[in-house]
Amino acid sequence: MDHRVDEIDKRVLYHLARDARNTTAADVAEEMDVTAATIRNRIHQLEAEGVLRGYLADINYKSIEGHVTYQFSCTAPIPERDRLAQSALEVSGVVSVRELMTGKTNLAVTAVGSNTDDISRIAGELSDIGLDIEDESVVEDEYHQPYSPFGPEDAPVGPSLTDFMSLAGGAEVVEFTVSEGADVAGLTIEDAVEGGLLADEMLVVGIEREGDVLTPKGETLIQTGDVVSLFSKSGLEKDALDVFGSQ
């Protein structure tokens, strides 16, 4: 049975996602009008239930001379996806693996290398364990923001650009949270296209809603709070995401 997350739990998760290193139990307790011991107990419960899985450092590898971050888009046989995801993590240089609910390119593997030979070695080892590498690209930068619905009422509710990736040929993939009041909120993907809100070169390739990953179709409804992955054949202008409430 899934752990029932209440408002105190949500606020704990919000602040830890915002800045885990500098968030104290006393800070959250004061905001929620409970004791610090209550907050510490909630953190332990969230950890035990697997809701709070860890505290990861946000490392800018690009700032370390000679290092580059790559993302490999890989395909694994569905029955073997979980096992191969774990095997990929054992490859030296791989820092994260994301399982995707698709038949093709269903694993996104992020790796860090110190030179091109290092990246080539990682690619070879991923192939050796049984992954088909469909595409690879340099990760230029990555942005994070806590999930605003879990935060206080005065928390920023604007767009949440959570990931950005440049692909070969000038294509880009962005991942962001649909803001309240966005033009596309409440519309189907098909309606958004017909209404000119989505340009021809844009393609919604993924929607995550309340922990579930949806396969986007024309009749799929875009809702406030959805985490949308958007592919564009050409570079996105700053105002291209305005319809999603993004800045």
**DSSP-H helix ranges across the chain:** 7-19, 25-32, 36-48, 81-89, 116-128, 189-194
Of residues 56, 51, 46, 53, the one with CA closest to residue 20:
56
**pLDDT tens profile 229-241:** 888 776 666 566 6
Residue 161 carries which DSSP code? Answer: E
| pTM > 0.85 | no
Please, what are the domains in the chain? Answer: 7-48 (1.10.10), 61-138 (3.30.70.100), 148-244 (3.30.70.1450)
Contact 13, 51 (CB under 8 A): yes
pLDDT score, position 92: 96
User: pLDDT for 179-190, tens place per residue?
Assistant: 777 888 889 988
Structure tokens at 235: 């570079």
The reported pLDDT for the residue numbered 237 is 61
Q: Over the range 90-113, which residues count as b (16 or more CB within 10 Å of their CB) and which as e?
A: ebebbeebeebeeeebbbbbbbbb
Task: Identify the pLDDT of residue 244.
Answer: 72
The predicted pLDDT at position 240 comes to 64
Q: What is the pLDDT of residue 238?
A: 54
pLDDT of residue 161: 47
Please list the ranges in the chain whose pLDDT falls under 70. 1-2, 154-170, 234-241, 245-247
